[in-house]
C-alpha cells in the first residue's frame, strides 16, 4: 500500500511537471503565422531605415558625414535611424532563439527618439546663434567650446582681429589676437578622442582652460586665421 501511494504521487508529479514544461513551451514560442508576420514586419522596418540612411547620406553637403557634429541634421538623422534599427535586428535574432521574451530588446529603440529630442534642440539653438551672428563679423563655424570647467556646443566666429565664442550654455565672449600667447593643436580633447574633428587649446594669460574643437573641414580655416599677421609667434602644433 505505501508503495502504491508512492507510485501514484510520483506519476502525478511527473504529469504536473510535463504540463508545466508544455505550458512554458507554448508561452515561449509563437505560432508560425505570428512568427512570419513579426519577421516580415522587422524586415520591412529595417529596409525602410536603411533606405532613409542612404537617402540622408546622399543629401548631405560636401562635408563628409563624420565631419558633422551629432547635433547637425545629417549626423543626427543617421544616428537616430541606427539607434532604432539595431534593437529591431537584435529582437529578431532573440525572437528566433528564445521566443517572445526576445522582444524586450525593442525597448532600447526608444533611445533613438530621446536622442533626437535632446540633440535636435541643441542643433536648433546653434542655428539660432548662427543667425544672430552677422557674416560680416567673420567665418561662422559650429564647434565644441571649453571654458574653465564648462564644455558646451556652440558657434565660433573667426573675426578679423578676434575670436568670438558663443556657447549654447554661457555668455558670448571675445578674445583678441593679442591675448593669445600660444596655441596647441590636439586630437585628444578634454578627455575624449576627436574623430573627424580638430581641437585647439589656447594659452591666454589670466584665463584658465580655454579651447575649442572644429570639424576637419574647417580646421584649415582656423589654422589660416591663427597664422595671419600678428600671430606668427604662436606655437601651433601638437
Instruction: Give me the pLDDT at residue 16, please.
Output: 46
The better pLDDT of the pair 54, 2 is held by 54
Closest CA to 152 of 71, 231, 41, 45: 71
- Assess whether 92 and 39 both reside in one domain: yes
* Residue 119 domain flag: yes
The Cα–Cα gap between 223 and 212 comes to 13
Q: Answer whether residue 234 shows pLDDT above 90.
A: no
Residues 86 and 150 in one domain: no
Please state the domain count of the chain.
2
Return all residues near 130 (Cβ < 8 A) that are at least 6 apart.
140, 142, 155
pLDDT for res 37: 66
Local structure of 72: helix, strand or coil: coil
> Are residues 116 and 80 in contact, defined by beta-carbon separation less than 8 angstroms?
yes
- pLDDT digit string (tens) for 18-67? 434 444 443 445 566 666 666 666 677 666 666 665 665 555 557 788 88
How far apart are alpha carbons 153 and 71 in whole angstroms? 9
Domain limits for position 223: 136-227
Please tell me whether residues 147 and 87 are part of one structural domain.
no
Residues 90 and 159 in one domain: no
Is 159 in the same domain as 111?
A: no
Three-state DSSP at 109 gives helix
Helix, coil or strand: residue 18: helix
In a domain, 4, yes or no: no
- Which pLDDT band, with edges at 50, 70 and 90, does 213 fall under? very high
Give the model's pLDDT for residue 233.
Answer: 47
- 193 in the same domain as 106: no
84, 49 Cβ separation under 8 angstroms: yes
Q: Are residues 171 and 90 in the same domain?
A: no
Which of 126, 149, 164 lies at the terminal end of a domain, its last residue?
126
Q: Is residue 116 part of a domain?
A: yes
Residue that finishes a domain, picked among 95, 126, 157: 126
> How far is the C-alpha of 25 from the C-alpha of 28, rounded, in Å?
5
- The Cα–Cα gap between 145 and 127 comes to 16
Alpha helices in the chain (DSSP H): 2-28, 32-58, 73-98, 111-132, 216-227
Q: What is the mean pLDDT of residues 105-132?
A: 89
Position 153 confidence tier, pLDDT thresholds 50, 70, 90: very high
Q: Are residues 212 and 158 in the same domain?
A: yes
- In this structure, are 63 and 104 located in the same domain? yes
- Do 119 and 49 belong together in one domain? yes
Which position has the higher pLDDT, 118 or 50?
A: 118
What is the average pLDDT value for the chain, to the nearest integer?
76
Share of the chain above pLDDT 90, in %: 16
On whether residue 82 sits in a domain, the answer given is yes
Say if residue 238's pLDDT is above 80: no
Assess whether 109 and 182 both reside in one domain.
no
Stretch 121-140: mean pLDDT: 85
Does a structural domain hold residue 146? Answer: yes
Q: Domain of 219: which CATH number? A: 2.30.29.30
- Residue 169: inside a domain: yes
> Which of 94, 126, 158 represents a domain boundary (last residue)?
126
User: 186 and 119 in one domain?
Assistant: no
Residue 2 lies in a domain: no
| Residue 11 domain flag | no
Give the lowest-confidence range in 131-135, 196-200, 202-206.
131-135
Neighbouring C-beta atoms of residue 212, cutoff 10 Å: 22
Whether 163 contacts 156, CB under 8 Å: yes
pTM for the whole structure: 0.68
Per-residue model confidence (pLDDT) at position 131? 85
| The Cα angle at residue 65 between residues 59 and 71, in degrees rounded to 5 | 95
pLDDT at 176: 85
Amino acid at each position: 500500500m505505501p508503495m502504491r501511494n508512492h507510485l501514484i504521487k510520483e506519476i502525478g508529479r511527473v504529469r504536473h511537471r510535463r504540463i508545466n514544461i508544455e505550458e512554458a513551451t507554448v508561452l515561449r514560442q509563437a505560432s508560425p503565422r505570428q512568427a512570419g508576420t513579426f519577421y516580415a514586419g522587422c524586415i520591412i522596418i529595417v529596409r525602410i531605415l536603411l533606405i532613409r540612411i542612404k537617402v540622408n547620406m546622399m543629401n548631405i553637403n560636401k562635408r563628409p558625414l563624420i565631419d558633422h557634429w551629432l547635433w547637425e541634421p545629417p549626423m543626427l538623422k543617421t544616428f537616430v535611424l541606427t539607434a532604432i534599427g539595431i534593437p529591431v535586428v537584435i529582437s529578431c535574432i532573440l525572437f528566433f532563439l528564445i521566443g517572445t521574451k526576445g522582444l524586450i530588446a525593442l525597448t532600447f529603440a526608444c533611445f533613438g527618439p530621446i536622442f533626437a529630442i535632446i540633440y535636435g534642440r541643441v542643433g536648433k539653438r546653434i542655428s539660432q546663434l548662427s543667425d544672430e551672428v552677422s557674416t560680416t563679423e567673420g567665418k561662422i563655424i559650429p564647434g565644441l567650446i571649453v571654458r574653465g570647467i564648462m564644455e558646451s556646443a556652440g558657434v565660433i566666429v573667426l573675426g578679423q582681429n578676434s575670436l568670438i565664442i558663443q556657447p549654447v550654455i554661457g555668455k558670448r565672449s571675445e578674445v583678441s589676437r593679442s591675448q593669445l600667447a600660444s596655441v596647441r593643436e590636439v586630437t585628444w580633447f578634454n578627455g575624449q578622442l576627436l574623430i573627424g574633428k580638430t581641437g585647439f587649446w589656447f594659452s591666454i594669460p589670466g584665463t584658465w582652460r580655454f579651447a575649442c574643437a572644429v570639424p576637419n573641414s574647417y580646421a584649415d580655416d582656423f589654422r589660416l586665421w591663427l597664422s595671419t599677421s600678428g600671430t606668427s609667434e604662436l606655437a601651433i602644433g601638437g
